[in-house]
């Protein structure tokens, strides 16, 4: 009835089906991997906030987020227990910083030193990326204008409003090496329209900063600004700061030890008066509170 | 004559096995953490899934960074502080459906099934045994749906005491997938 050739084929058919089947079973893993592919992704949270310690980090406030910042620098810790290690004397800065666009952040603030009011613009120009089209670093441009609000010390001379102004220009280039370690270099130019005595109008500085995460929510941060200080009184030194970041949901606390009481760049980069060797240091903290004013639209494709 | 019929049926059977791999890359998985203080909802609509009706095998994979949130800060915290996406970029599930014998793929209807398998999130693998529903529409399209509870601590995701009252201990997860036949070699 059934020719032998076909018989053989019939006998083998179930085996063929099983073989095919087995083959198909094995491949789900590789199919998942294949379909997941390698996507280009932006590296997030190189630093916890927009400042490393005193100076700017490469980070910006996200679009639609408002960052209310309170910063305090106390008196020198040399004051000892009588001055409560400087905490009896406080200088402060209050600021509001808003993410207008994903790449653009604007800010205003007011600081005790020289009754300074300042405006800030920060542009996120390049972002570190991983995956198919990876990119090694993030880069931001930071520019501030500081308005000295003190009464003129010499009322008799011609005092122009422009003499109250100084400017900050910084390029922050940072890389998040892994989930714990981030590093940044920050070439800096500060221009003062009116410089004291024989001091130059332009001050150049090179900043380096880093972060090392101890736990997912806390990190040690450090920052150093080398200032090219021709003709600046020798009592001033370079700014070096160490800090500790603690994140609690929508707050970030940064507590620090620094040799500068100034909070604005035209002070702490130019005039840090304390010496680390002599223990002439200042305790300070930054508190950031984030408010989401505009929520992200869920991508309902 | 009879032989030819058997042969043809056999071959069709073979080819059915070959094609019987269903797929999606637009699967939906969401979770919600509800506390009196704060609700946090994450939605991922780029979930990849394979399902083989022939064997009941089912697999899911997704990128943690593909979850979107209403608050941009929540997304950053989710990736940076909780699931640690840089270290553990993907979540994967591999398992099997039981109860699929009852499914008639040619007729519209819904069928309860049980999903068993292993889910890996945050580098930790947990055995899963949950209820799900497979539904077939008039066009013969296959969909899957399931809601179950996950506990972050089962996956080694720690919630510090400071934010304990803002992050739920039990997180309901919703899964919705609409499958299409998978074309190999595309």
- pLDDT for the residue A15: 61
For B9, name the nearest residue in chain A, comparing CA atoms only: A13
- pLDDT for the residue B143: 95
Q: Which residues of B touch A25 (CB under 8 A)?
A: 52, 55, 57
For A297, name the nearest residue in chain B, comparing CA atoms only: B70
Q: Does B15 have pLDDT greater than 50? A: no
Segments in B25-182 forming alpha helices (H) = 72-77
Q: Which residues of B touch A10 (CB under 8 A)?
A: 6-7, 10
Give every CB contact of residue A251 below 8 A, 6+ residues apart in sequence. Answer: A287, A288, A289, A290
CA distance A272 to A169: 19
**Burial (CB count within 10 angstroms: exposed 0-12, middle 13-18, buried 19+), residue B20:** middle
Quick: pLDDT tens for B94-109. Answer: 999 999 999 988 889 9
- pLDDT for the residue B164: 83
Summarize the confidence of residues B149-171 as an average pLDDT.
89
For B19, name the nearest residue in chain A, comparing CA atoms only: A24
Our CA-based measurement puts residue B162 at a distance from the nearest CA of chain A, in whole angstroms, of 7
Summarize the confidence of residues B60-87 as an average pLDDT.
89
| Beta carbons of B59 and A13 less than 8 Å apart | no
CA distance A25 to B17: 11
For B27, name the nearest residue in chain A, comparing CA atoms only: A301
- pLDDT for the residue A299: 41
CA distance A89 to B70: 41
Confidence bin at B17 (pLDDT 50/70/90): very low
- pLDDT for the residue A159: 85
- pLDDT for the residue A105: 97
Which range has the top average pLDDT, A115-119, B36-40, B136-140?
Answer: A115-119
Summarize the confidence of residues B68-75 as an average pLDDT.
85
| Inter-CA distances, A132 with A12, A38, A126, A223, Å | 45, 6, 16, 32
Give every CB contact of residue B93 below 8 A, 6+ residues apart in sequence. Answer: B58, B59, B60, B61, B117, B118, B119, B120, B128
Q: Give the position of tokens 């996507």.
A: A39
- pLDDT for the residue A23: 52
- The DSSP bridge pattern shows strands B39-52 and A282-292 to be unpaired
Q: Locate A261 and state its tokens.
A: 């009481």
Q: Does B186 have pLDDT greater than 50? A: no
- First and final C-alpha spacing in chain B: 38
Q: Among partner residues A20, A33, A65, which is closest to B14 by beta-carbon distance? A: A20
ipTM score here? 0.70
Angle between helices A4-26 and A28-36 (to 10 degrees): 50
| Beta carbons of B17 and A20 less than 8 Å apart | yes
**Burial (CB count within 10 angstroms: exposed 0-12, middle 13-18, buried 19+), residue A48:** buried
Tell which wins on pLDDT, B54 or A294. Answer: B54
- pLDDT for the residue A28: 82
Confidence bin at B73 (pLDDT 50/70/90): confident
- The DSSP bridge pattern shows strands A104-111 and A116-126 to be antiparallel
- Mean pLDDT for each consecutive 10-residue tract of chain A (301 residues)? 66 59 63 85 91 96 92 89 86 95 95 94 95 93 95 84 95 94 97 89 95 92 91 86 89 93 92 88 93 65 36
| Longest pairwise C-alpha distance within chain B | 78
Which one of B80, B119, B177 would you mutate to disrupt binding with A, by most A Cβ within 10 Å of its Cβ?
B80
B115-120 own/partner pairs: CB under 8 Å, 24+ apart: B115/B58, B115/B146, B117/B58, B117/B93, B118/B93, B118/B94, B119/B91, B119/B92, B119/B93, B120/B91, B120/B92, B120/B93
| Beta carbons of B55 and A21 less than 8 Å apart | yes
């Amino acid at each position: 009835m059934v020719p032998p050739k076909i018989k053989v084929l019939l006998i083998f058919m179930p085996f063929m089906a099983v073989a095919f089947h087995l083959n198909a079973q094995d491949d789900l893993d590789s199919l998942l991997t294949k379909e997941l592919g390698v996507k280009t992704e932006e590296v997030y949270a190189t630093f916890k906030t927009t400042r490393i310690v005193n100076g700017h980090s490469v980070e910006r406030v996200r679009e639609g987020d408002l960052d209310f910042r309170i910063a305090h620098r106390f008196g020198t810790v040399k004051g000892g227990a009588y001055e409560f290690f400087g905490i009896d004397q406080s200088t402060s800065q209050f600021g509001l910083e808003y993410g207008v666009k994903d790449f653009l952040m604007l800010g205003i603030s007011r600081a005790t030193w020289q009754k300074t009011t300042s405006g800030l613009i920060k542009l996120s120009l390049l972002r570190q990326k991983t995956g198919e089209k990876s990119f090694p670093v993030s880069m931001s441009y930071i520019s501030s204008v500081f308005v000295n609000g003190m009464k003129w010390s010499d009322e008799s001379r011609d005092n122009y409003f422009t003499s109250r102004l100084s400017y900050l220009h910084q390029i922050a280039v940072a890389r998040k090496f892994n989930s714990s370690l981030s590093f940044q270099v920050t070439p800096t130019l500060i221009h003062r329209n009116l410089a004291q005595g024989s001091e130059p109008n332009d001050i150049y500085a090179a900043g380096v900063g880093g972060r090392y995460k101890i736990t997912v929510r806390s990190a040690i941060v450090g920052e150093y600004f080398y200032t090219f200080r021709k003709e600046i009184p020798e009592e001033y030194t370079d700014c070096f700061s160490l800090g500790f970041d603690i994140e609690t949901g929508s707050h970030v606390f940064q507590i620090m030890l620094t040799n500068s009481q100034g909070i604005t760049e035209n002070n702490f980069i130019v005039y840090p008066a304390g010496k680390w060797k002599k223990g002439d240091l200042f305790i300070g903290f930054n508190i950031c509170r984030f408010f989401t004013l505009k929520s992200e639209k869920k991508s309902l494709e | 004559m009879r032989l030819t019929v058997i042969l043809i049926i056999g071959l069709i059977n073979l080819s059915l096995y070959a094609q019987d791999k269903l797929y999606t890359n637009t699967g939906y998985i969401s979770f919600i953490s509800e506390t009196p203080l704060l609700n946090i909802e994450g939605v991922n609509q780029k979930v990849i899934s394979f399902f083989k009706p022939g064997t009941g095998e089912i697999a899911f994979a997704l990128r943690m960074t593909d979850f979107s949130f209403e608050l941009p800060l929540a997304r950053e915290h989710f990736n940076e502080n909780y699931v640690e996406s840089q270290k553990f970029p993907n979540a994967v599930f591999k398992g099997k459906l039981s109860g699929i014998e009852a499914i008639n793929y040619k007729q519209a209807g819904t069928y309860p099934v049980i999903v068993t398998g292993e889910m890996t999130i945050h580098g930790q693998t947990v055995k899963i045994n949950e209820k799900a529903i497979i539904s077939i529409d008039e066009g013969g399209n296959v969909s899957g749906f399931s809601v179950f509870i996950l506990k972050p601590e089962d996956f080694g995701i720690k919630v510090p005491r400071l934010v304990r009252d803002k992050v739920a201990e039990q997180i309901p997860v919703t899964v919705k997938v609409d499958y299409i036949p998978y074309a190999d070699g595309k």
